[in-house]
Amino acid sequence: MQIHRLNAWSDNYIFLLQDGPRAAVVDPTEAPTVLKKLEELGAELTAIFNTHHHGDHVGGNRALLAKFPSTMVYASAADRDRIPGQTIFLNEGDNVTFGDRTGQVFFVPGHTRGHIAYYFPPVAADEPGELFCGDTLFAGGCGRLFEGTPAQMVASLSKLRQLPDNTRVWCAHEYTLNNLKFAVTVDSQNPDLQDRYRQVQAARQHQRATVPSLLGIEKKTNPFLRWDQPALQTIAKIKEPARVFGRIRGMKDRF
């Protein structure tokens, strides 16, 4: 399975999965970008994998279905009637298949009430897994809590945090630099974070993408996966995970 990262709007990423002449797309922000890549690859769209209902993730659904009407549209059962053209209604523990790869579905509410993520385990021990997490987990950050609670988001991120360190994190926005600008204010003595911040600053000066990230790096540097670390508990002035997370998330919202 090849993964093509496509730029859309100012900072969105669309992910096109290719298996020979067949293709699937994760969170199509817009159709023209996807259609251009499909034409370039000579591939036919067979599946749309949506993580949640926001317009910058489902905006291209209807136009893609007009071009490829037999395409199956996968999304959360909790997002019924909020996903254009949805045909498959997924729950925690369900599987999806594309080509010779089988992905696992995680129910990860918090950013929205119906958010899901897709995880494709590695096919060989020396290869990475692939996590398509929408706006739940970002490189260096996480999504705002528009429809969920801190406790829900901690539970959701805990599911993703338990995946192997060599999992590639295909998040849907290029927010990394701003996320790390905030992260160093709440975890300032973290040498891994300081190194990453410098690397990302250099990458963005040259307009290089910072997605995908690696989950092992996120575990070391992303404050929203580190609610159980003393430095973050000290900043939050509390130790209970959901309350630590909630206070740090509130600080980021005001950053």
The whole-number pLDDT of residue 98 equals 97
Assigned token pair, 133: 């997490």
**Rounded Cα distance, 172 and 126, in Å:** 25
Q: Select which of 27, 79, 135, 187 is catalytic.
A: 135
pTM above 0.85, yes or no: yes
Which residues constitute the domain of residue 243? 2-253
Whether cis (ω within 30° of 0) applies to the bond prior to 28 is: no
Mean pLDDT, residues 127-145 taken together: 98
Average pLDDT over residues 132-155: 98
Q: Is 115 a catalytic residue?
A: no
Count of domains in the chain? 1
Tokens coding 239? 């130790």
CATH number for the domain including 45?
A: 3.60.15.10
Please tell me the distance from the alpha carbon of residue 221 to that of residue 228, in angstroms, as a whole number: 13
- Residue 55: name the closest of 6, 98, 117, 8 by CA: 8
Kindly report the backbone phi and psi dihedral angles of residue 125, in degrees, each rounded to the nearest multiple of 5, phi listed first.
Answer: -60, -30
19 is annotated as an active-site residue:
no
Is residue 53 among the annotated active site residues? no
The amino acid that residue 43 corresponds to is A
Candidates 27, 53, 54, 187; catalytic one: 54
Per-residue pLDDT tens digits for 66-124 = 999 999 999 999 999 999 999 999 999 999 999 999 999 999 999 999 999 999 999 98
Q: Which of 27, 53, 79, 173 is catalytic?
A: 173
Given 56, 79, 115, 187, which residue is catalytic? 56
Which whole number is the average pLDDT over 20-40? 98
Average pLDDT over residues 215-221: 98
Give yes or no: 4 in active site. no
Local structure of residue 229 (DSSP, 8 states): S
Of the residues 27, 79, 111, 115, only one is catalytic, namely 111
pLDDT, the chain, mean: 97
- Structure letter (DSSP) for residue 182: H
pLDDT value of position 213: 98
| Active-site annotation holds for 173 | yes
φ/ψ of 169, rounded to 5, equals -100, 105
